[in-house]
Amino acid sequence: MKVTFFLSFLLLAAGIYAQNLKGDIERIIKGKDATVAVSVLKLGESYNVDINGDKKLPMQSVFKFHIALAVLDAADNGKLSLDQPIFIKKADLLENTWSPIRNKYPEGNISLPLQEIIRYTVAESDNNGCDILLRLIGGTEAVQNFMDTKEISDFSIKANEEEMHRDWNVQYTNYTTTNSMNTVLKKFKEGKMVSAKSTDFLLKVMLGTKTGLNKIKEQLPAETPVAHKTGSSGKNSAGLTGAENDAGIITLPNGDQYALSIFVSDSRETEAVNCKIISDISMKVWQHFSGMTRYEK
């Protein structure tokens, strides 16, 4: 009887604890002219909180994480090698798109090792690198099939970067939910998506992400390990932001980790406000788990 009462007490306390965080997040997004989805999952525990966590929203460049997993799976199965050189023609380096590869090698006609193209694609969100990777593995269908085999639901990938740049509405065919995103992150960290070697490689790449530093990472202590992937649509001619996203795995000072996915969609707020929503939520989640409200940045 005492054991049953104690377990009931723990469950009640955990529920109140989670509800407090949910209330904090709801206060951050209240009154914002945007759809905001948030999912928080403590790795190694059953703790999770979400707001609009099952809402299908455009991924934008967050899908480069899924693409990298599919490429690494091909490498794990001997179809590709991280060391193999990939020839990049000038025609592969499209203009008017975000591409650090093109900026460094404007004339193309170079060979880069596959692992470097993955790094450019994930850590620097290179759009040309993304489409080069997709061509290597057989297009978006190969990524969808891989996610299906890993039993990842609420995920759809139909278009590459070039296609999204041609038509604003195409981005909505590449969607997921923040709950699904956290499921992928959890399985990835547990080594259930790709081999241990590939998991370690991609984690290191994600820890070196250079984009979206004003999102999940912005307000966290400077040395906090954040392995994440960002995504952003920019605004269309009507002033609408299709997606301002960030998702990743954060490590606390005690070594505990949590997955955090935040998608801001169909927003009429400014870019600064959209990113501040993500930054403020991230800070609140970190404070909630760490118990620290003051720290040196």
Residues identified as active-site: 61, 161
Q: Kind and range of the H or E element at 266?
A: strand 257-267
Query: Measuring CA to CA, how many Å separate 274 from each of 10, 69, 277?
Result: 36, 28, 5
With H, G, I as helix, E, B as strand and everything else as coil, classify residue 247. Answer: strand
Q: Kind and range of the H or E element at 282?
A: helix 271-290
Indicate the Cα dihedral angle 156, 250, 115, 196, nearest 10°.
-90
Q: Is residue 261 within 8 Å of 50, Cβ to Cβ? A: no
Write down the number of H helices and E strands in the chain: 10, 10
| Encoded tokens for 255 | 């070594």
Q: Is residue 92 within 8 Å of 106, Cβ to Cβ? A: no
**What is the rounded CA–CA span in Å between residue 297 and residue 291?**
16
In one-letter notation, the amino acid at residue 208 is: G
Q: What is the DSSP letter of 157?
A: -
